[in-house]
Amino acid sequence: MTEQAAAEAYAAVDAAVDEFADEATELLTRLVAVRSVNPLQPGVDGSLYAGGEKRANELLAEALRPLGFGIEWVEIAEGRPNLVAVLTGSGGGRSLGLNGHIDTVAPQAGRFDDPWTAVIEDGWLYGLGATDMKAGHAAMWLAAKALQRAGVTLAGDLHIHSVVGEETMSHEIGTTAILEAGHIVDGVIVPEPTSTAPDLLRVANAAAGNHLFSVTVRGKSTHWASRNLAIRAGGPGDEIGVNAIDKVVYVYSAMRQLEEQWAFTKTHPSFPAGAFIIHPGVLRADIGVEAAPYFPDRARIDYLLSFPPGYTSDEIAAEVEEHIDLASRLDPWLRDHPVEFTWIDSWPPAFTDPEGDFARSVMASRADLASVDAAVPPLGAPVTAAAQSDANFYEAFGIPALVCGPGDVRVAHAADERVALGNIALAARMIARAAVDWCGLGETADKR
C-alpha cells in the first residue's frame, strides 16, 4: 500500500464519516432504547431484561448486513447470543477484530425519567449504555459504513464481535465463547470508553488482573457476658467461646500487611508504583442473626484484588492463601481452625507489547488522525487502561488487543451516562484507518 493510496482512502473515509454521522447517532439511539441490561447484575431482576442483549445484537446485525457483513451467532447461554459479523477481505491481509459488549449495567435514577430514551443536549447523548459501550458499537458501524461509502476494500477480514455478559465478567458465554468457536483474528480493538476530554481516544495496552474472593473465619458462640472469661487471665479462653470479629480483624491486618508488601513486590512498567491493591469491600460477622448478645461464630470479608500482567490468577490466589496461612500459625485458634477461602471470579491481566506490530499499526493510525484533526491530542505511547475489558481474553488467546473508544469512563456505570457525539465520528475515523493500515488495501481499491 503506497502512502498516497492510504492518504486518499483516509480522505474519502473522513468525508463519508461526516456524511453518515447522523445515521450513527440514530443507530446509537436505537441501541440505547433496547433494554440490554445484563440479567445477572447484582440486585437486578433478570426476568425484566430477558432477551434484551439478543434484541440489541439483532439490531446491530441488521445494520451491518447491508454493509456486506456475513452474520453468525455464538450462543452458549440460552437466549443470550453473541454476534459475529465478518466482512471478508479480498485476501492476503491480516484480520482485525472489533469487540464491543452489548450488555449494560442496571439503570440509576438521574435527570431523565427514562434511561432508555436517548436525550441529546449540547452535543451529548444521554442514555443507559451510551458511553459503556453502545457508542463503541455506533463507531464500529460508522467506520464500516465509511469504508464502504469510500469504496475501500480491505485485504484482510474485518470482524465485529458483539458480546453478552461482559458487565458480570461472564466471558465464558461472551468473548471467550467466540474465540473458542474459532473466530480468531490477528489483532483486536475494543472501543470501550477511553476518551476523557481533552484526552480523546487514548489507546490502552495494559490492564491489571482482578480476583474477587472471600475469606471466612469461624468462631465459637457463647453468651456475650462471658467475654472476660474468653479473653482475660483467669478464664478458660478459647474453651468457652471465640469471637469471630476478633479473629477476622487479625486476618484483615495480615492481609493489609501483604498489601503493603505488594507495593514493592508487585510492579510493572505500565503501572505506577503501588498500583496493585487488596481491597476489602464487604465485612460481615454474626451468629446467623444480627444480635449483639452473642459471640459471633462466623465472619467474612469479601475482597477484590488487582495484580499485574505476568501473573496468573491461580498464582496470586496461592500467594494470598500462603500469606494468611503463615500468619494464622501465630494464632492458636486460627492454626486449628484455618481461614476458608472462596475464589469467586477472576479477570486475567492484559498486556500488549507497545513495540509489537499491532500496537505500532494502531498508534500510527491514531497519529495520522491527530495530524489532521486538532481535537485528537498526540499520544506518544499506549497507556494503562482505567478499567477491565474483554481485551484481556483476546490476549489469553495470544491475540494482541488494544482498548480505544469514544466514551468517557468517568460517566460509565453512573447516573446520567452520556457520550460526546463528536467522539463517535473521531473513533470511527481512527478505526477505519487502523483497518486500512492493519488489514491492507484490497485489490478493488488498488485498481481505483
Using CB under 5 A as the criterion, which residues of the chain lie in contact with Zn ion when the complex forms? 132-133, 192
- Whether 103 is a known active-site residue: answer yes
The residue whose Cβ lies closest to Zn ion is 132
CB 133 to Zn ion: min, Å: 5
Nearer to Zn ion, 137 or 337 (CB): 137
Q: Could you identify the residue written with the cell 476530554?
A: 197
385, 391 Cβ separation under 8 angstroms: yes
Query: Catalytic: 340?
Result: no
Cell numbers describing residue 219:
468462631
CB of 318 to Zn ion, least distance (A): 30
Kind of pairing between the strands at 401-403 and 119-121: unpaired
Nearest to 436 by CA among 142, 20, 100, 155: 155
Q: What residue type is 409 in one-letter code?
A: V
Task: Supply the minimum distance, in Å, between the C-beta of residue 28 and Zn ion.
Answer: 15
CA distance 80 to 418: 25
Which residue lies nearer to Zn ion by CB, 192 or 368? Answer: 192
Q: How far is the CB of 430 from Zn ion (least distance, A)?
A: 18
| CA gap 364, 10 in Å, rounded | 13
What is the rounded distance in angstroms from the CA atom of residue 39 to the CA atom of residue 26?
Answer: 25
Smallest gap from residue 134 Cβ to Zn ion (A): 10
Catalytic residue among 14, 53, 132, 167: 167
Comparing CB distances to Zn ion, the nearer of 105 and 320 is: 105
Count Cβ atoms below 10 Å from residue 106 Cβ, excluding itself.
Answer: 17
Of the candidates 14, 53, 103, 132, the residue annotated as catalytic is 103
* Active site amino acids: 103, 167
